Amino acid sequence: MRKLLPILSLTLTTLFALSPAQAQQQPLTPVAPANNGIYSSIVRIEAATQVPDYNEPWKAGRFSGGIGTGFLIGPNKFLTNAHVVSNSRRLLITVHGSPQKHPARILHIAHDCDLALLEVEDFTPFKGLEYLQVGLIPKLESQVRVIGYPVGGNRISVTRGVVSRIDFSTYSHSRSDQHLVVQIDAAINPGNSGGPVLQDGKVVGVAFQGLRSADNTGYMIPTPVVKRFLKDIEDGSYDKYVDLGISEFPMFNPAMRKKFGLERNSPGVLVASVTPDGPCDGVLEDNDILTAINGNAVDAAGNVLIEGEKVNMNEIVERKFSGDEVQLSFTRDGKAMEKSATLKHFAPAQMYSVQYGITPRFTTFAGLVLQPLDRNLYAAHNFKNTRVRRLFAHYIDEAIFKERQDIVILTTILSDPTNTHVNSHAGKAVESINGEKVTSLDQAHALLHPTNAPEFFVIKCEGVERPIVIPGDKAAEASKRTRSNYGISLPSRLK
């Protein structure tokens, strides 16, 4: 497994550095001399970030920051990577050769494809600068230039490389999304992120990640992904990628082909499972043979032919938007059928994406800290419990999301006289409170904070027979005590 790392040089800044005052005091003059040409349109982005703390969610989090690159693609439209500006509290843009820092803000951010569009508060000084044009996918073996502000100096840097691979790959920013990626042999270093990759004066990609285990390997987001992002936000909001919501299994095995009555060369891939409530739920069924999407024949491996290239069939859906329809041709029990599915973003899949720009939800009760399970929480706590790992892994395919909006985890037990004997419950999923199945953090919070306290609060965790018992008359006092002892500034955050 390769390890991809987002290219963003992280530097720890103090709270004082967050003050935007110094940037605004400077006089506004045109940012660059005219002879800088295209370089002036490639800007340095300075982000001051605040990363939430999922271990102690009441805390403000970690203040830090980093440098990335962006480029002007239209009137007051700077394109960069989402990871350059994620969790940012302040953004400053500087132009090559100019000392001025211009406060900026995020217009649109797409974490699933690691792209963001920024605007500066005052565009006047940037007027007259060239807008970079977005071109096509570069050919294999062709040469490209990467321009940006990587580590090792303050001024602009240019490297050259050759396009060495065009493939579907994971975008490490969200860790759960896979899109088209172009690999080049130019070094892409921290700070290069969000910078343009140019060929014949046009943008052919956005530099975004490197490979820890290999030298001189950089990855860029190719233009179909960039264009899709720009089109998606045309209506003023980003609606995210859509997904078919099926998992396919290749039809290579002769016995399998015989069972489904497929000729040697007949097309089609097996539908191995359909995501409950997904776009294909009620359209496709397990064991259907999907033969074509929008008239493009699907082969036994699940590939389609687009623009002369064999690509995974999901590439068709990749270019679609929420609300678009796709025509599915398939064989069910030997009968050819045709149905259409309306594509949509599948919200429960968020469970598996790293999330940015949000504050963690939690509630506390008598020293117990309850948090909803998601990728961020998982990364912070590294759960070992088999039940928790299973709930996470099968949240969607076993339709757990239909019953449980949240998987509530008892993440931490802050020692208190009322809870000293239940330490082994930490890291387990909460199954019920006072006999009621726990289905969301809000509900768990309500059950733990009723108007009239019951005789006992009985909290049962999954896979643990012995419940946690907190006497009703001691709970409020224990909550108060642990809040003051452990510096819990906020007892709960449900939104």
User: Footprint of other proteins on this chain (CB under 8 A)?
Assistant: 247, 249-256, 258-259, 270, 272-273, 286-287, 384, 386-387, 389-390, 393, 397, 418, 420-422, 456, 458, 463, 465-467, 469-471, 474
Of the listed 98, 193, 353, 479, which one is catalytic?
Answer: 193
Residue 85 C-beta-side C-alpha neighbours within 13 Å:
29
C-alpha distances out from residue 161 to 166, 169, 217, Å: 14, 20, 9
DSSP state of 314: H
Q: Are the beta carbons of 203 and 78 closer than 8 angstroms? A: no
* Tokens encoding 227: 């264009």
Which of 279, 114, 85 shows the shortest CA–CA distance to 180?
A: 114
The span from the CA of 140 to the CA of 5, in Å, is 24
CA distances from 30 to 21, 27, 46, 90 (A): 20, 10, 20, 22
Instruction: Look up tokens 């989090």; give the residue.
Output: 61
For other proteins, the closer of residues 82 and 349 by Cβ is: 349
Q: Which of 40, 41, 83, 299 is catalytic?
A: 83
Q: Can you tell me the distance from the alpha carbon of 245 to that of 142, in angstroms, rounded to the nearest whole number? A: 36
Q: Minimum CB separation from other proteins for residue 435, in Å?
A: 13
In 3D, which of 63, 58, 86, 11 has the Cα closest to residue 355?
Answer: 86
The dihedral through the CA atoms of 454, 460, 465, 471 has a sign that is negative
DSSP annotation of 440: -
At 254, phi and psi to the nearest 5? Answer: -60, -40
Q: Please return the burial class of 51, using the count of CB atoms within 10 Å of its CB with bins 0-12, 13-18 and 19+.
A: middle
Half-sphere exposure of 33 (CA within 13 A, CB side): 3
In the residue annotation, 64 being an active-site residue is answered as no
Does residue 114 carry a catalytic annotation?
Answer: yes
Active site residues: 83, 114, 193
